[in-house]
Structure 1
């Protein structure tokens, strides 16, 4: 099992947040960027395109709630287009503007206030996250999987996609058993890697070959 996990982490890289250039830090900008990324990843579109679109939005100035609000709708559409996020570009551009407004109005621009308002309870945090346009159960799972690297109180966050990847590799599918295969600090990387395995049989076969 140790060999499989080591091979998995080596083959699959880091978290989706890291791919998008988001530092895994409990800071306002990083948490907002992660919320944007979760929104983009929630659509039926490849993760590579969602990550590329996030990078374009951040490069255009949309890496903070204020910055996202300052972008015009067309500027958001154009940034999404540069990332090839074209099927959902117009509706997503609208949603991201609404998300930025909620973060500013309800959380004063700082999603650490969401952690406080939830009492650092994962179920309550999920309820608050679902108040954002574009964030449903899938978006909550994406955000919390990645945010457990920043918010230790979410650990271990193991959802159905992670369990699917674990099953493919013959790893434990129960929360405690799977979480015990890596140090707590690596849970975000492990869950991201297992989601990739769940979506990519070729990657699963490569890891199992170890």
Structure 2
């Protein structure tokens, strides 16, 4: 937690709360994280898009395709910038047409059914099952009825550190309020073996 306990939303400068704008910003970040590109670049790209003013579905829809490409390019979000610009535009239109630009409506539609919510998120262009997991992992900080939400990436990180293999046991290690940050830390460990080795080394040194 000390080394890696920050959510991706926090890194992207999103002040996550149960309001339309930050919930949409998290959707944008999730779309960027869902492509085959490093999380560091995806977070930087989200920051560039938000700095350019594309922090609501209306603003993202109204931005030109080239403006979105340019914002992504400033974060070195290459190879996928043109395709991602198109997806962001379509996703913004979808958000407005189906959910009135307010993802709280999506949450209410799904009730407490995380599986249904996952399917509804999967309908957004550029999200898919992996993206839905990312969104739910982060949004459980404010949609607390979803907690504990732990996906396969979190479990993979836990396995590398010989930690428990159940959501309840992992929550018990840090408490429900810290689970989103703990989950993000474990995701970083799952995708970076060096991070896992660093954590193990620090634990060994303390014991």
Q: State the TM-score, normalizing by the size of structure 2.
A: 0.95
| Structure 1 segment 132-151 matched on structure 2, within 5 A | 132-151=124-143
Q: Which residue of 2 aligns with 1:75?
A: 67
Deviation at 1:199, TM superposition (A): 0.9
Which residue, 49, 52, 55 being the options, matches 2:44?
52
Distance 1:45 1:106 in 2: 29
Deviation at 1:205, TM superposition (A): 1.3
**Which consecutive segments of 4 or more residues in structure 1 shift more than 3 A?**
none
Deviation at 1:13, TM superposition (A): 3.6
Q: Which residue of 1 aligns with 2:101?
A: 109
Which residue, 118, 121, 127 being the options, matches 2:113?
121
Is contact 1:61–1:71 with CA below 8 Å preserved after alignment? Answer: no
Deviation at 1:120, TM superposition (A): 2.9
| Structure 1 segment 193-208 matched on structure 2, within 5 A | 193-208=185-200
Distance 1:73 1:120 in 2: 36
Q: Secondary structure at the match of 2:160?
A: helix
Which residue, 92, 97, 114 being the options, matches 2:84?
92
Which residue, 158, 161, 170 being the options, matches 2:150?
158
Q: Which residue of 2 aligns with 1:64?
A: 56
Deviation at 1:107, TM superposition (A): 1.1
Is contact 1:156–1:175 with CA below 8 Å preserved after alignment? Answer: yes
Q: Would you say how many aligned residue pairs link Structure 1 and Structure 2? A: 202
- Provide Cα deviations, 1:56-98, integer angstroms capped at 9, x if missing partner: 0111111101111121000000000001111100111011001
Distance 1:120 1:61 in 2: 33
Distance 2:170 2:164 in 1: 5
Distance 1:13 1:166 in 2: 14
Q: Which residue of 2 aligns with 1:34?
A: 26
- Provide Cα deviations, 1:91-129, integer angstroms capped at 9, x if missing partner: 110110011111111111110000011123101101110
Q: Secondary structure at the match of 1:12?
A: coil
Distance 1:65 1:89 in 2: 18
- Provide Cα deviations, 1:28-77, integer angstroms capped at 9, x if missing partner: 11100100111100111100000000000111111101111121000000
* Alignment pair present for 1:12 and 2:8: no
RMSD of aligned C-alpha atoms? 0.9
**Structure with bigger RCO (C-alpha 8 Å, 6+ apart):** 1
